[in-house]
Structure 1
Amino acid sequence: MERKYRVEGMTCSACSAAVEREVGKVDGVKNVAVNLLTNSMKVEGEEGIESAVLEAVDRAGYKGFLEGEEKKSETIEADPFSEELEIKRRRLITSTIFLIPLLYISMGSMMGAPVPSILEGHENLLTFALVQFMFTTVILFLNRHYYVNGGKSMWRRHPNMDTLIAMGSGAAYIYGIYVILQLAYGFGHGDMARIAAYGHELYFESAATIVVLIDLGKYLEAKAKHKTSGAIRSLMDLTPEVATVIQDGEEKVIPVEAIEIGDRILLKPGENVPVDGVVVEGISSVDESALSGEPIPVEKTAGSDVMAATTNGQGRLIMEAKRVGEDTTIAKIIALVDDANATKAPISKIADKVAGIFVPIVIAIALATGGIWLALGAEPAFALKLAISVLVISCPCALGLATPVAIMVGTGKGAKAGVLYKSAESLEILHHVETVIFDKTGTITRGKPYVTDVVAAGISAEELFATAYALEKPSEHPLAEGVIRAYEETYGTENKLSLEHFEAIPGRGLKATLNGETYYGGNEALMDSVGADLSAIRTQLDALLAQGKTPLFFAKDDEFIGLIAAKDLVKANSKTALEKLHAAGKKLVMLTGDNEKTAKVIAKDLAVDRVHAGVLPDEKEAYVRQYQEAGKVAMVGDGINDAPALARSDVGIAIGAGTDIAMESADVVLMHSDLMDVVSAMDLSKATIRNIKENLFWAFFYNVICIPVAAGLFYKPFGLTLSPMIAALAMSFSSVFVVTNALRLNFLSLDKAESENKEEFSEAIDFVEIPSVKTKAHGYNKKEEAQKMDKKILKIDGMSCNHCVGRVDKALNELDGVKASVTLDPQEAVVEGEKLDSALLKKAVEDAGYTVIAVE
């Protein structure tokens, strides 16, 4: 069971590491991932541990809230960065108002600027110090959250960024109070030497400037964070807040949240669609570019689907709501992005390990710095300055932001381009993939067969086409859809033939009765089983197969009457996409259930390294496992039968036109159903991981370089040190740099998919008529041949679906001289051939994984 929580109060990677460490100790928790950027936490574990998880968050020093009852996308919808930005803006402005006079008073005289006489000279040093003390106290009070949070974290032994800031600025502030006491003692006892010694050792301006500069950095960081969710917000802005609903003949404006399934909604010209649904009245064009990437508006009439966040054109439409709330396409996109942002990429484990021990090590280095310089005879003020610099410059803000900010920008960029990553892990792994396996039908090709040839034997081509149309009308086979579409485009929907009986024959085709006559339609195996002779058209058949066309055969009783050939078009962008992936060094594999000749014809013009034809649906997963032995594998598919392979692969990619089951099994969902988006997904993965590595490098490199300088290692040889104020400025801008670097991903150029409509099928159907084929070429009668053939019926146990039928059918028909017809109900195989060997037949079935219980 997986639950999501919101965690408040985290400021750096040490905070998220502390929360993960405490929650990970809870019994029943299997996995925990804390996202510093969105202040969210995803916990995987047993049921009923929610209260224990919240207690663990509290022990770590933070406040946790369960988000189970809220919308998954609430974190993004509410845009927490906006509220955070406003709070930090007000705090920065107020703090700066008090910092300006403080800096003027403390450093104005050094720059020759006029200052009030009451603050000039040795005699006014105490007043000078007290005024600075008052301004600094106000500034530190405005920023008291650093001290409250830092103190709590220290008390719970989970020191974080706030602890370092509190210790650094607090040390300067306390030292300033100590100086005031020394000045007061000196004036009270007339000790002018003491006054001269401490008169210019005040560091109030450093304490105040440190927190104000960090406020500046945090404000700029929050502003940059706000931009990271811009891609999602731009999509959400397309969903209107209200909609016009037609109820009882009246138009009523209601909130979108109040729309229910079945409501009729009026879409006026220029309005955005509020929910997913179907048009019931009107004609218009709808701009779907926000979701599909297709720049050309799509014409919508009665029966057309429309999606939320798309824009109606100049027409007036009435639609019926089909999916509302979290079920709309746009809501699912946002939920997927939100879920991806709540996960962690494997690469972030490096930062997590460092963050867990980083702050204690920095505190130890700061204490050692001050102690060593004091031991070397340095002035206490100098040693304190270096120790404070080490504390302030080492805050691990950038370290904690390096991964999540890049993930958020990357997933947001992907969502806007129609590429949805379900997790940060899939985003990282994708660019490591070595082999990409593609399903053919519907993935590389359009999945819609187009009729190219009608070859009639003994009847007219028009009569064959009409017969085929009547036979295939009840069928759900893809080839049947092609025949029906082609016939209706050629002759219309009228057909005088009367279908009296229809029976589907699994794995082979169909049987039907037309006007009292028995007809068959299906593959070559079906023709063989009914005794239809194809020898006279073998040359033509081979030519059609060589062109990548798939034949559909028809017979009247045992007399072959013709075939209809169709071919599936390669999608407009598939060739280009495969070439780009091949050029990127990926090994490309195509899987298809088609025969080998058809598969090779389609693959010959594509940049495919291997083709596996005749693949049964349940065999795709086995091919994925086979290629995984050589490296990471991505599987691209769209159908229910692709789901096991998608789940087995290292990264499963489901194209948008696919089924819900395929999308559930996948790690990446492509909204556009175009292979160019596979290229985009990989390019975005590579760019995002490169960006994360850059962020981690600079976060580590920054600390490796700056800590030694702040500790004074270069003071003796080069006189080089860092003042606490410069250290605070450098630390603040390290976080800004990381977030800004991640925002560069928004400028990444992704390959745009071209419109599929640019490649319409325009080939004319070729009508051919040949003489009737009633006997074998060598002249003897079929019935005589049948008398010489043995016939056996195998009773089989264990077959549960058409996949099983296909396995047994394949196993038997691969035997020499054997023709088999396998059925699921009853579970049996009718086998014909010369001198059939029962033992051999039984072994073939058992090798396929099933049991022969009888041979008749």
Structure 2
Amino acid sequence: MQKSVLVSIQNMTCGGCAARVARALEGVSGVQDVAVNLADETARFSIEIDQPVTKPMQALDAAGYPARSQDLRFRISGLSCASCVGRLQNAFNDVPGVVSAHVNLADESATLQFIPGLTTPQALAEIAMQTGFPATIADEVQPQDRAAEKQEEADHHRRMMWISAALTLPVFLLEMGGHLLPAWHHLIGRTIGHQASWVIQFVLTTAVLFGPGRQFFTKGLPALWHRSPNMNSLVALGAGSAWAFSTVALLAPGVLPEGTRAVYFEAAAVIVTLILLGRWFEARAKGQTGAAIQSLIGLQPRTALVAQGDDWNEVSVNDLRVGDKFMLKPGERVPTDASVIDGNSFVDESMLTGEPMQVAKVTGDTLTGGTVNGHGSLVCEVLRVGHDTTLSQIIAMVQQAQSARLPIQALVDRVTLWFVPAVMGIAILTVVTWLIFGPDPALSYALVSGVSVLIIACPCAMGLATPTSIMVGSGRAAELGVLFRQGDALQTMCDVKVIALDKTGTLTMGKPMLTDIESVDPATEDHFLAQVAAVEARSEHPIAQAILQAARDRGLDLPEVTSLEVISGQGITGIIDGQRIAVGNRSMMQQYGSAENSFLTVAEEHSAKGKSVFFASIDGRVAAVFAVSDPLRPTSAAAISALKARGLRVAMISGDGRATAQTVADGLGIETVIAEVMPEGKIDALKSLRTSYGSVAFVGDGINDAPVLAEADVGIAIGTGTDVAIETADVVLMGGDVMGVVHAFDLSRQTLRNIKQNLFWAFGYNAALIPVAAGVLYPALGMLLSPGLAAGAMAFSSVFVLGNALRLRRVGIAP
């Protein structure tokens, strides 16, 4: 029996493409009835219903026409350890049509890439449900719900822990008190009797296991039955074994060998109580790992004051539409991306840049949702709403980075998938070994050691080690204005040896400015500048725009110009009040005026500094020399110094002339300069740096540098605050500040260090304590690990990992 498969194809542009797609599919064994439609870019074929579609998809990839895929994000319930993650991840990857799947234990989510037509979100959600983990499409859940959910979960574990502790305390005192104080043991014997003590312990421990501890059995035993054990299974087996053995010893002592009658009710009760305590702390810590996302979400106000007819009415931000007009009062947050249509104020944009700075806003300027208005009132028009706003894009980028799967995670995934079955095998081997070689009472020793092995093992810590650090590190980066668009850039950034920077718009402001005026008569400088600006007002040249901006900054009025004439490659002239004003380079001055030696000397000095120099004359007499340059960003020098202090080689790639580029490089302390490079030549320059020195990160403005950003090992785009959707970059610096490169490198290095610390703890903890729990120290020291102590160690191992990851929230940036 066959099934029909319809997929959407990429890269088809002509009939030849359609024919190649058809040939690629027809070449796969078992594929029949191939029909390729160029108009809607689809391909339909038939295949045996039990045959996977992996080979047809691989054939399309090899032919250069891959099937279109779609991204999907689920919120997952019921994840308790790394084994759960591995099992669900494998279940997703086994579905035909799933390109990739990554399950994140820290934020309890799954990120999938699938091919529409081969599977659907509903089918994938059903797969998750069948595996034991209910899934909800993330877009259908409000992001704010996560903090509330984790708080509710923490509160539940807290209540269960206190109930369990109240029931466990008498059990612990009755049993362990007698071991610690002989007088207490004798007192129990003389009063209620040891048999009655055991009955009380049985009743209370049973209440613990089937009350607060019920969740371990309802979740762990079904997973065990389906041959996919998890952390809950280990707890259920450990606590259940201690309770079952003790119950037999109490109710049917004749079943047990002579000398082995003992009860371990306190072990079962303490195990549940301590693990509930750990789960409480763990839920609280998990809620804090998403604090950066929650703070971003909290930046958007819930209502806005919108114009409706002649009135201003308060409406929900969710009801705003493009074109709506709203009033922004002093001190209020901007509800959505908008433009100012009336009023002026200063707006705090620190949520974009990470730096507390007030930016002047007047009519025509844009506002970003989430920023804070100053003391002025503004009337604004809505530009973008919902998922199209800058804030929504930022949140989406941070979520994408937090869900990333770093290369370092691959080993962890392989280990944790088999970890719980391996622990169960070790526990069985431990019991058998004690029964064969252990001293009397061997059964008691075997039980204690086997239960301790089951309880002390902690796959949770291994599963949380990487994702929690990624979540907290990328969130902290966002607070500092650094967006890791690709989560794996957190790891690859650490391997970078060279930081290559574009000059214009990256190290410099990207906007020429008038820096110097040397005039014949300083007293009439403003008057002459207004005349020159009036002539240049008709020019599109960047230098002309710099002159006009200087005149505006001085508040000058521009006179009328007649007889305007542009001399190609030289400059421009015009008549003002009967006088001919000429503005241009030195060759033009030879035609329209002669320059004094002092002007020529000044011009040479400015040219030597990399500035663009031009002259202005009145009726054939040079009256002033002007110098224009693209000023360096204020933090460029400090950023270069900081990068070099971290052992990185810094290079500059520029299309400017060598003299200009070298002047800028010398001022910043950059030793490696590649100048006079056309845009297409930047990729060759990047490859040359990589060959000579190693992995390269390229920093550009994200406009003309897209190809080289894509070619770099790490592409870093200088954003403008609102320009965050730069598709070719791995990292976006929202503040437009080169110091953000230093922040990105520091956060990458500290996040990877944090991950390695977590992994060392998680693996080291299990490697060291599982043998101790099995009794490896008993022959030499006569010491066995109590199941209660094992439970305490396990409960706090994952809390340690979470706590270590949360330290990244307080990471300071070194100068």
For this structure pair, what is the TM-score category when the shorter chain's length is used for normalisation? 0.7 to 0.9
Query: 1:47 Cα shift?
Result: 1.9
- 2:82 aligns to what? 13
Find 1:692's aligned residue among 748, 752, 755.
Answer: 755
Query: 1:667 Cα shift?
Result: 1.1
2-structure distance, mates of 1:123, 1:182:
21
TM-score for both structures, normalised by structure 1:
0.78
Query: 1:8 Cα shift?
Result: 1.6
Find 2:364's aligned residue among 286, 289, 303.
Answer: 303
- 2:238 aligns to what? 168
Query: Which residue type is aligned with residue 440 of structure 1?
Result: K
2-structure distance, mates of 1:324, 1:475:
38
Other structure's SS at 1:346 match:
coil
Q: Alignment length, in residue pairs? A: 733
- 1:134 aligns to what? 203
2:141 matches 1:61:
no
State whether residues 702 and 729 of structure 2, in contact with CA within 8 Å, keep that contact through their aligned partners in structure 1.
no
- 2:107 aligns to what? 38
- 1:319 aligns to what? 380
Find 1:87's aligned residue among 156, 159, 173.
Answer: 156
Find 1:145's aligned residue among 215, 239, 256.
Answer: 215
Change (3 A) 1:371 1:475: farther
- 2:328 aligns to what? 267
Q: How far does the alpha carbon of each residue in 1:819-840 deviate from its partner, in whole angstroms, 9 at most, with x for none? A: xxxxxxxxxxxxxxxxxxxxxx
Deviates more, 1:412-421 or 1:96-105: 96-105
Deviates more, 1:120-129 or 1:695-704: 120-129
Q: How far does the alpha carbon of each residue in 1:623-661 deviate from its partner, in whole angstroms, 9 at most, with x for none? A: 223323342111111141011111211111112228848
2-structure distance, mates of 1:722, 1:326:
54
State whether residues 665 and 671 of structure 2, in contact with CA within 8 Å, keep that contact through their aligned partners in structure 1.
no
Query: 1:294 Cα shift?
Result: 3.4
State whether residues 639 and 659 of structure 1, in contact with CA within 8 Å, keep that contact through their aligned partners in structure 2.
no
Query: 1:106 Cα shift?
Result: 3.4
1-structure distance, mates of 2:288, 2:240:
33
1-structure distance, mates of 2:584, 2:413:
60
Query: 1:387 Cα shift?
Result: 0.6
- 1:488 aligns to what? 552
Query: Which residue type is aligned with residue 344 of structure 1?
Result: R
- 1:594 aligns to what? 656
Query: Which residue type is aligned with residue 77 of structure 2?
Result: E
TM-score for both structures, normalised by structure 2:
0.81
Query: 1:400 Cα shift?
Result: 0.7
Find 2:315's aligned residue among 251, 254, 277.
Answer: 254
Find 1:681's aligned residue among 738, 744, 748.
Answer: 744
- 1:759 aligns to what? none
Change (3 A) 1:152 1:67: same
Other structure's SS at 1:339 match:
helix
- 2:27 aligns to what? none
1-structure distance, mates of 2:625, 2:725:
34
Query: 1:108 Cα shift?
Result: 4.5
Other structure's SS at 1:278 match:
strand
Find 1:708's aligned residue among 767, 771, 776.
Answer: 771
Find 2:508's aligned residue among 437, 440, 445.
Answer: 445
Q: How far does the alpha carbon of each residue in 1:489-516 deviate from its partner, in whole angstroms, 9 at most, with x for none? A: 457242311487999x8xx799899899
Query: Which residue type is aligned with residue 101 of structure 1?
Result: P
State whether residues 719 and 734 of structure 2, in contact with CA within 8 Å, keep that contact through their aligned partners in structure 1.
yes
Mapping of residues 339-418 of structure 1, within 5 Å: 339-378=400-439, 379-418=442-481
Other structure's SS at 1:43 match:
strand
- 2:60 aligns to what? none
State whether residues 76 and 338 of structure 1, in contact with CA within 8 Å, keep that contact through their aligned partners in structure 2.
no
Mapping of residues 169-568 of structure 1, within 5 Å: 169-183=239-253, 197=259, 201-378=262-439, 379-452=442-515, 469-470=533-534, 472-473=536-537, 475-490=539-554, 492-498=556-562, 542-551=604-613, 564-568=626-630
Other structure's SS at 1:645 match:
helix
Query: 1:688 Cα shift?
Result: 0.8
Query: Which residue type is aligned with residue 533 of structure 2?
Result: Y
State whether residues 514 and 547 of structure 2, in contact with CA within 8 Å, keep that contact through their aligned partners in structure 1.
yes
Other structure's SS at 1:566 match:
strand
Change (3 A) 1:398 1:527: farther
2-structure distance, mates of 1:273, 1:471:
41
Query: Which residue type is aligned with residue 16 of structure 1?
Result: V
- 1:724 aligns to what? 787
Other structure's SS at 1:448 match:
coil
Other structure's SS at 1:640 match:
coil
Query: 1:75 Cα shift?
Result: 6.8
Query: Which residue type is aligned with residue 95 of structure 2?
Result: V
Find 1:583's aligned residue among 645, 652, 658.
Answer: 645
State whether residues 71 and 113 of structure 2, in contact with CA within 8 Å, keep that contact through their aligned partners in structure 1.
yes
Query: 1:680 Cα shift?
Result: 1.2
Query: 1:741 Cα shift?
Result: 1.0
Q: Tell me how large the CA RMSD over aligned residues is.
A: 3.8
Query: Which residue type is aligned with residue 160 of structure 1?
Result: N
State whether residues 509 and 520 of structure 1, in contact with CA within 8 Å, keep that contact through their aligned partners in structure 2.
no
Q: How far does the alpha carbon of each residue in 1:247-284 deviate from its partner, in whole angstroms, 9 at most, with x for none? A: 22222122221222222222333322222223333344
- 2:30 aligns to what? none
State whether residues 520 and 555 of structure 1, in contact with CA within 8 Å, keep that contact through their aligned partners in structure 2.
yes
Change (3 A) 1:238 1:466: closer
Other structure's SS at 1:323 match:
coil
Change (3 A) 1:707 1:427: same
> Structure 1, unaligned stretches of length 5 or more?
187-193, 753-856
Query: Which residue type is aligned with residue 172 of structure 1?
Result: A
Change (3 A) 1:605 1:168: same
2-structure distance, mates of 1:665, 1:730:
46
1-structure distance, mates of 2:535, 2:100:
56
Query: 1:147 Cα shift?
Result: 1.8
Query: Which residue type is aligned with residue 346 of structure 2?
Result: S
Q: How far does the alpha carbon of each residue in 1:773-810 deviate from its partner, in whole angstroms, 9 at most, with x for none? A: xxxxxxxxxxxxxxxxxxxxxxxxxxxxxxxxxxxxxx
State whether residues 60 and 153 of structure 1, in contact with CA within 8 Å, keep that contact through their aligned partners in structure 2.
no
Query: Which residue type is aligned with residue 64 of structure 1?
Result: A
State whether residues 426 and 453 of structure 2, in contact with CA within 8 Å, keep that contact through their aligned partners in structure 1.
yes
Find 2:98's aligned residue among 18, 24, 29.
Answer: 29
State whether residues 169 and 207 of structure 1, in contact with CA within 8 Å, keep that contact through their aligned partners in structure 2.
yes
1-structure distance, mates of 2:595, 2:677:
25
1-structure distance, mates of 2:167, 2:563:
91
Query: Which residue type is aligned with residue 765 of structure 2?
Result: Y
2-structure distance, mates of 1:366, 1:37:
28
2:713 matches 1:650:
yes
2:161 matches 1:98:
no
Query: Which residue type is aligned with residue 469 of structure 1?
Result: A
Over alpha carbons, which structure has the higher Rg? Answer: 1
2-structure distance, mates of 1:94, 1:509:
88
Q: Percent identity?
A: 38
1-structure distance, mates of 2:316, 2:721:
32
2-structure distance, mates of 1:493, 1:80:
62
Query: Which residue type is aligned with residue 473 of structure 1?
Result: A
Change (3 A) 1:43 1:514: farther
- 2:808 aligns to what? 745
- 2:733 aligns to what? 670
Change (3 A) 1:210 1:522: farther
2-structure distance, mates of 1:83, 1:522:
72
2-structure distance, mates of 1:218, 1:301:
52
1-structure distance, mates of 2:106, 2:633:
40
